[in-house]
Amino acid sequence: MNSDPTRPYHRHEIDLLFAKVKAQLHQKALERGGDGRALYADCYTGETLRGGDRYDYEHIRSSEYVFMAYRDRLTNFEIAEVVNCSENVAVTLRSINQSKGKMRLEDWLSNRVNTTKHKIDLELAKKAAIAADKGIDQKVQEILSKRFK
C-alpha cells in the first residue's frame, strides 16, 4: 500500500477514473436530453446546460485538496475513488471552473466579484460543497472499513 504521508501530489489514477466518470455522466445526460444533446444543471448557478455549451466536469473539492488530506491513509487508487465520488463531480460553466481553479469553493465564493460575474446561486453552491464533503467522508469510511473486514 502506498500511503506515504509525504508523497507529492499525483493525479494519474485520479485522471484515469475521472475520464470514466465523465463518460458515465455524459451518457446519463444524453438520456436526460432525449434529443441527442446532453442535458445538465450547473452545480453553482442552477442554469440549464446543453451539449455544445461551454461547460466542464468539475471536482467540487479539488483533487489536490483531497489527495493532500488523505495521502497518509489511502493509496493513489483509493484517493482517485474518493475524488471522483458522485457527490464531488458535477458540471459547471467552463468560465466558472477556470476562475475557481484549485481554490477552495468557500474562498472563491467569498469574493463578490466571482459570485456576481458568474451569477452564482450561493445557496446552491453551498449545498454542493456540503454534499461533496459528505460523499467524500462516506467514501473514505467505506474504503477504510473494507480493510478491517
Residue 7 is placed in which grid cell? 508523497
CA distance 80 to 12: 9
Q: Is residue 68 part of a domain?
A: yes
pLDDT in the model for residue 149: 65
Q: Which residue has better confidence, 149 or 83?
A: 83
Q: Is residue 22 part of a domain?
A: yes
Q: Answer whether residue 124 shows pLDDT above 60.
A: yes
Q: Answer whether residue 2 shows pLDDT above 80.
A: no
Q: Is residue 77 part of a domain?
A: yes
Q: Is residue 6 part of a domain?
A: no
CA distance readout (Å), 45 to 8, 17, 92, 102? 34, 26, 8, 19
Q: Is residue 65 part of a domain?
A: yes
pLDDT in the model for residue 5: 81
> For 33-57, how does the pLDDT look when each residue is reduced to its tens digit (9 = 90+)?
999 999 999 999 999 999 999 999 9
Look up the pTM and report it: 0.92
Tell me 119's DSSP state: T
Kindly indicate the confidence band of residue 4, based on its pLDDT and cuts at 50, 70 and 90: confident
The gap from C-alpha 77 to its chain's centroid, in whole angstroms, comes to 16
Residue 40 is placed in which grid cell? 445538465
Neighbours of 48 (CB within 10 A): 10
> In DSSP terms, which residues pair with 55 in a beta bridge?
93
Range of the domain at 66: 12-142
The predicted model gives 63-74 an average pLDDT of: 95
Q: Where are the alpha helices (DSSP H) in 1-40?
A: 12-33
- What's the number of domains the chain is made of? 1
